[in-house]
Each structure stands twice: as C-alpha cells, then as structure tokens.
C-alpha cells in the first residue's frame, strides 16, 4: 500500500476483473457482514439526539452502498452522499440498482474529500480504514469536512480488528468463498487494533473522541437481535470490529 493512494476494490481481488471483484465483495457485504450496516445506522440514530442535526451525511468507502442505504432509511430527509474511490464499483452498483432513491454517488478519495470545510454533519464508514493509503491524512480530511456550526459534527467509523482472536477470524473466513476468504484475511492483516486507532485519531488532531471495542450499544443490538440470531455467524460484533466516534464543534 502506498502512502498516498487508497486501495480500490479490485486490488483486493487481483485475479478478477472489476465486475467479478465487485460481485465477490457484494456476497460478503450481503452475507456475513449484512447485519453490521443496520447496527451502524441504528447506533447513529441513537447517538444523534435530533434527526435535524444530521442534514448532510457522507458515507466514505461506500462500496455497494449497504451502509448508505441503511442510513437513508433512518434519515430520510437528509442529503446522503455515498463516496467511493472506484468509479467502476459505483457504476456497477448504480446499474444494478443497489442504491436507494435519493442517495448521491460521489467518486473520490478520503484523502482528498470533494467537499468544503465545515460542510458535513455526519461521516460514516464501515470496513474502509484498512484500505486508506494514509490513515492519519484520512482522519484529518474527515475532521476538516465535518461541520462545527451546530455542534453536530460526528464521524462514526467501524473497521476490522487486527487483534481479533484467530478462532474468530477463522470462523468468519470459513464461511466465505475462497476468493473472498483471501481478501478478508488480507484485510484483517492490514487493519488496526483499538489501541492503534486511539493513537491514530489523537495524532490526526481530534480532541473529542471515543474508541470502542464493542462499537454497538445494547439498544442497537436489541433492535437487530433477530437478524443477529438468524445470521450466518453467531459472534459478538466487538470480537471482530472496533468502532470510533469523533465529535467536532
């Protein structure tokens, strides 16, 4: 991984063309990790006291739009932007009607967000940080773009844990197709442990933040209890994910 360029989806699946790589990624997003997007959106709704404080929402590293769609369901009046570095992935997702009506697609890199400073109320990102070429610069860009106008600027970022127990990683990997399994294991190796995330966010200049080894509250878990019980895997989200909340304003 270079210091300047974030990884595109096709880079995780080097033996596939873009469409095949996107389909492989989509199988994991719709399968093993499907409930995590709903959990994130519900946790966001719990953390934000009034929906009117989330008028402009940006999902970074949106992929096929799973998280952006869940956010739009809960914040229907907000302007939701779905950003991904891969124009090909966005085009594929759009042509296969993956995005909910009203979501605005943006091709761009977290290292150079195409938004003015102080303009985004909420930034979300799931499973994206380990793709960023320069993680500190990515956090700084998010801090720059977050709005300070109403004290509402919030980033909610979730990614894989490098320090996840091997038996948990193996359990997830065994549920994936061979090509997706390889990409998942590489992603875990490229990811951060929660303590590394704390140091990263602090170095990027954030003053008010929380890094959680269990990123979802009991209320969010309860709202998704049925899906978690009937899902492909029976693991605690915190066994494989960390979550960071960053506030500005």
Q: What is the mean pLDDT of residues 153-178?
A: 93
Q: Using 50, 70 and 90 to split pLDDT, how confident is the model at 144? A: very high
Angle between helices 178-190 and 166-174 (to 10 degrees): 150
Could you give the domains of the chain? Answer: 9-248 (3.40.50.150)
Question: Does pLDDT of 2 surpass 50?
Answer: no
Question: Does pLDDT of 129 surpass 80?
Answer: yes
For residue 125, what is the DSSP state?
Answer: E
% of the chain exceeding 90 in pLDDT: 65
- pLDDT attached to residue 249: 77
Tokens of 178: 């061979």
Q: What is the mean pLDDT of residues 160-175?
A: 94
Q: How far apart are CA 83 and CA 77, in angstroms?
A: 19
- pLDDT attached to residue 196: 98
Closest CA to 113 of 59, 168, 153: 59
Question: Does pLDDT of 188 surpass 70?
Answer: yes
Residues 247 and 209: beta-carbon distance below 8 Å: yes
Cα→Cα distances 94→13, 31, 103, 106, 147, Å:
21, 20, 10, 12, 28
Question: Does pLDDT of 5 surpass 80?
Answer: no
Question: Does pLDDT of 138 surpass 90?
Answer: yes
Residues 91 and 113: beta-carbon distance below 8 Å: no
Q: C-alpha dihedral over 64, 65, 66, 67, to 10 degrees?
A: 140
For residue 63, what is the DSSP state?
Answer: T
Tokens of 221: 């878990």
Q: What is the pLDDT of residues 41-75, one digit of tens each?
A: 999 999 997 777 899 999 999 988 999 999 999 99
6 half-sphere exposure, CB direction, 13 A CA radius? 25
> In whole numbers, what is the pLDDT of the chain averaged over residues?
88
Q: What is the largest CA-CA distance in the chain?
A: 47
> In which residue are the tokens 């956090």 written?
139
- pLDDT attached to residue 17: 67
pTM beyond 0.85: yes
Reduced 3-state DSSP string for 88-107: HHHHHHHHCCCCCCCCEEEE
First to last CA, the chain: 33
- pLDDT attached to residue 14: 66
């Amino acid at each position: 991984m270079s210091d300047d360029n974030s990884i595109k989806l096709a880079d995780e699946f080097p033996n596939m063309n873009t469409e095949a790589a996107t389909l492989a990624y989509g199988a994991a997003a719709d399968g093993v990790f499907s409930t995590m997007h709903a959990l994130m959106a519900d946790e966001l709704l719990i953390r934000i006291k009034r929906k009117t404080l989330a008028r402009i929402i940006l999902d970074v590293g949106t992929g096929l739009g799973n998280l952006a769609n869940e956010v739009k369901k809960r914040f229907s009046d907000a302007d939701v932007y779905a950003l991904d570095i891969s124009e090909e992935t966005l085009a594929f997702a759009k042509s296969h009607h993956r995005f909910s009506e009203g979501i605005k697609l943006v091709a761009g890199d977290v290292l150079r967000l195409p938004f003015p400073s102080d303009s985004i109320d909420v930034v979300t990102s799931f499973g994206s940080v380990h793709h960023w070429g320069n993680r500190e610069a990515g956090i700084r860009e998010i801090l720059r773009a977050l709005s300070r106008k109403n004290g509402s600027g919030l980033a909610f970022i979730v990614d894989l844990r490098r320090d996840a127990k091997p038996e948990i990683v193996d359990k997830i990997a065994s549920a994936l197709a061979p090509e997706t399994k390889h990409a998942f294991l590489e992603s875990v190796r490229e990811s951060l442990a929660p303590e590394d995330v704390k140091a990263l966010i602090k170095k990027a200049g954030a003053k008010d933040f929380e890094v959680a080894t269990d990123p979802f509250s009991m209320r969010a878990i309860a709202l998704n209890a049925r899906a978690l019980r009937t899902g492909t895997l029976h693991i605690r989200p915190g066994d494989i994910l960390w979550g960071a909340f960053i506030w500005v304003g």
